[in-house]
């Protein structure tokens, strides 16, 4: 048994959902790329805030409001340290990864782009890192370009270099592809983009909770991730942006809390990050995010990454032994994500029959239709790992998958 698996046994009881049954079977959760389950520390922090500490932030002088404001700001500092940002003012709270990308697509391009300028994405992007750019580019007369992806699920950087021009304003790519699991070479991509004067945004939805992230080392200009994919609550996300850029960007939304002074005909806005946080913020969710990041750090991101890579190795080896099974994305550097097809079987049938056996996986287009088209499929099945998964769960999944295949294709034998 892997040494860390002993620690996993101690971690699992702190996840209430993992103690449940599904269809009368032990619940095996293999869908952490969609959303992660929440440890008790997160649930209790949010419950305690609502039941014992609740107050709004930034607006009042009474004691509970002051305490809530201090707690809220403490989490902002915590996120700064989690990402190794240079300044706390570089941390903007959002509703999630999608909200952060929309903010940058609208605000950054409004400040820095003009008709005829260019935006570069990759062919492995989630719809959330595609649709916002399509919308703004169409509105502002900008050109979208695409970094090609090879059959293994790797970005073709030679082609990327040819796509870059002096009119490229921003490059936006996933840190880890949600279909292929490919870990993209972010430092190299950033260096290439910066050499042509372009800025870089990284979609960290699949990476922030799984690998160490140092935004200064990566050199990126913007980095976004969601709390709910990092063992925290829904409705909260993070946008990191270099201070000098955020200062030059206009607010994305208007309302209370993001203003310094208001007149009938004009307003003076707060400095970043508050000018990007209009309205009463999701205070309990921010507190939950703080508890989630503390949980991640208590386990150790290096341990989490190593354990998930061990599960990836173990599951990949087992799945490659199954006749007719094709894994989508075989790059040497991958995160804990395996998308797969089984010859002549529909992913929905696979997912439904696994569900009956208590196993939760993802099926469908994974919010990445263009990526799947590049890989020659319309839908797929996917398993993905979190810190709480085990070898035994992988074994149970493999056994159940073989049973499903025999049900759907009874002429096979194992």
Q: List residues with catalytic annotation.
A: 367
Which residues, listed in sequence order, are joined to residue 354 by a DSSP beta bridge? none
**Of 237, 238, 240, residue with least CA distance to 223:** 240
Give the chain's largest Cα–Cα span: 76
Residue entry with tokens 């062919």: 123
CB of 360 closer than 8 Å to CB of 22: yes
Residue entry with tokens 């199954």: 322
How do beta strands 118-122 and 143-147 pair? parallel
Q: How many CB atoms lie within 10 A of CB 170?
A: 24
CA dist 352 and 369 (Å) reads 21
Kindly provide the residue ranges of all beta strands, DSSP E only, lying in 204-304, ordered along the sequence. 222-226, 237-241, 259-262, 267-269
CA dist 49 and 72 (Å) reads 11
Burial class (CB in 10 A: 0-12, 13-18, 19+), 238: buried
CB of 231 closer than 8 Å to CB of 85: no
Own/partner contacts of 136-139, CB < 8 Å, gap of 24 or more, are 136/105, 136/106, 136/109, 137/109
Q: Cα 87 from chain centroid?
A: 22
CB of 122 closer than 8 Å to CB of 147: yes
Residue entry with tokens 């950033």: 190
Kindly provide the residue ranges of all beta strands, DSSP E only, lying in 102-235, ordered along the sequence. 118-122, 143-147, 168-174, 199-203, 222-226
**Coil, strand or helix: which one is 337?**
strand
């Amino acid at each position: 048994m892997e040494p860390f698996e002993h620690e996993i046994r101690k971690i699992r009881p702190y996840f209430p959902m993992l103690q449940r049954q599904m269809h009368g079977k032990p619940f095996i959760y293999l869908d952490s790329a969609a959303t992660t389950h929440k440890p008790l520390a997160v649930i209790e922090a949010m419950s305690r805030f609502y039941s014992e500490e609740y107050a709004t932030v930034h607006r009042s002088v009474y004691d509970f409001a002051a305490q809530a404001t201090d707690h809220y700001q403490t989490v902002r500092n915590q996120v700064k340290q989690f990402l190794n940002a240079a300044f706390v003012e570089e941390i903007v709270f959002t509703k999630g990864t999608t909200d952060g990308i929309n903010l940058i697509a609208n605000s950054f391009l409004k400040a820095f782009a003009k008709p005829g300028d260019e935006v570069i994405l990759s062919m492995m992007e989630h719809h959330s890192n595609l649709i916002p750019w399509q919308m703004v580019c169409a509105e502002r007369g900008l050109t979208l370009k695409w970094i090609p992806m090879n059959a293994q699920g790797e970005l073709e950087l030679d082609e990327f270099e040819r796509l870059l021009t002096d009119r490229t304003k921003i490059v936006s790519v996933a840190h880890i592809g949600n279909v292929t699991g490919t870990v993209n070479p972010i430092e190299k991509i950033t260096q290439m983009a910066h050499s042509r004067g372009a800025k870089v945004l990284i979609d960290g939805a699949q990476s922030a909770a799984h690998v160490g992230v140092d935004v200064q080392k990566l050199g990126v200009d913007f980095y976004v991730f969601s709390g709910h994919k990092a063992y925290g609550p829904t409705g909260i996300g993070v946008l990191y942006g270099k201070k000098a850029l955020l200062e030059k960007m206009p607010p994305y939304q208007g309302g209370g809390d993001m203003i310094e002074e208001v007149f009938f005909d004009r307003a003076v806005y707060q400095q970043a990050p508050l000018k990007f946080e209009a309205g009463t913020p999701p205070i309990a969710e921010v507190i939950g995010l703080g508890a989630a990041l503390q949980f991640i750090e208590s386990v150790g991101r290096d341990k989490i990454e190593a354990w998930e890579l061990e599960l990836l190795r173990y599951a990949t080896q087992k799945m490659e032994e199954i006749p007719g099974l094709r894994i989508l994305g075989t790059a040497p550097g991958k995160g804990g994500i395996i998308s797969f097809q089984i010859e002549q079987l529909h992913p929905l049938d696979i997912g439904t029959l696994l569900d009956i056996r208590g196993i939760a996986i993802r099926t469908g287009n994974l919010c990445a239709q263009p990526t799947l088209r590049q890989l020659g499929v319309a839908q797929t099945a996917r398993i993905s790992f979190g810190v709480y998964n085990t070898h035994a769960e992988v074994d149970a999944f493999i056994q159940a998958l073989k049973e499903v295949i025999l049900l759907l294709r009874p002429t096979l034998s194992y």
